[in-house]
Amino acid sequence: MPHALEKEAQAKMDKSIEAFAHELSSIRTGRASVALLDAIEVEAYGAKMKLNQMANIAAPEPRLLLVTPWDKSQIGVIEKAILASPLNLTPSNDGHVVRIPIPQLTEERRKELVKLVGKFAEETRVAIRNVRRSVIDEVKKRQKDGDIPEDDAHKLSDQIQKITDEHVEKVDEVFKAKEAEIMEV
């Protein structure tokens, strides 16, 4: 029967991997994907809002995204937000919709994207290790307080390390798959 701390570590590490996978969905691979614009925030109505909360986003062609704002008066700020994003996209609008052509990726840009994915992977590994550290600190604290016997504390620490290793391995697998997807010509 897994210990409550083990379950907590597992859940938090799973969330780190989910966040990593979501982050990767916004990295373009040369094909238009509506997830590409998920991270873009627009300053509108006196607050920051996600683009997908202000407009309909569609990919009618493999190399084109269409953003149709629900409030046409916000088309200018939407265009500015897309331009200001780190995606290096150049939107154009006709007063009704924002068209975003997705350019073919150059070899140099592919390598930049792989570096970016690598940075996200490392941040996720660090988050997983931070979860491990905090849970093991909690195990040591409970052992010191007498709530957990020493043998159980060692077993629990070993099990948490095993869970950590499995999650770091998952991050590496996701990274390698995304790298292959990006470098695919």
Residues 90 and 54 in one domain: yes
Domain end call among 101, 125, 150: 101
Domain end call among 85, 101, 117: 101
* pLDDT confidence bin for 172, thresholds 50/70/90: very high
For 84, other C-beta atoms within 10 Å of its C-beta total 12
Residues 10 and 40 in one domain: no
Contact 65, 59 (CB under 8 A): yes
What is the structure's pLDDT at 106? 81
Q: How many domains does the chain have?
A: 2
* Per-residue pLDDT reduced to its tens digit, 24-78: 877 766 667 787 787 788 888 888 888 888 899 998 888 888 999 998 888 888 8
What is the structure's pLDDT at 2? 67
Residues 134 and 45 in one domain: no
Q: Which long-range contacts (CB under 8 A, 24 or more apart) does 160-167 make?
A: 160/5, 160/6, 160/9, 160/132, 160/135, 160/136, 161/132, 163/6, 163/9, 163/10, 163/13, 163/132, 164/9, 164/13, 164/128, 164/129, 164/131, 164/132, 167/13, 167/14, 167/16, 167/17, 167/128
CATH number at residue 173: 1.10.132.20
What is the structure's pLDDT at 30? 65
Residues 118 and 175 in one domain: yes
Mean of pLDDT values over 129-138: 94
Residues 111 and 179 in one domain: yes
Choose between 124 and 87: higher pLDDT.
124
Residues 64 and 120 in one domain: no
Residues 117 and 97 in one domain: no
* Per-residue pLDDT reduced to its tens digit, 76-105: 888 988 888 877 788 888 888 999 988 777
Range of the domain at 14: 4-25+106-183
pLDDT over 90 percentage in the chain? 37
Domain end call among 64, 79, 101: 101
Residues 52 and 17 in one domain: no
pLDDT over 70 percentage in the chain? 96
At residue 31's C-alpha, the angle toward residues 36 and 120, to 5°, is: 45
Residues 179 and 122 in one domain: yes
What is the structure's pLDDT at 29? 67
Residues 148 and 110 in one domain: yes
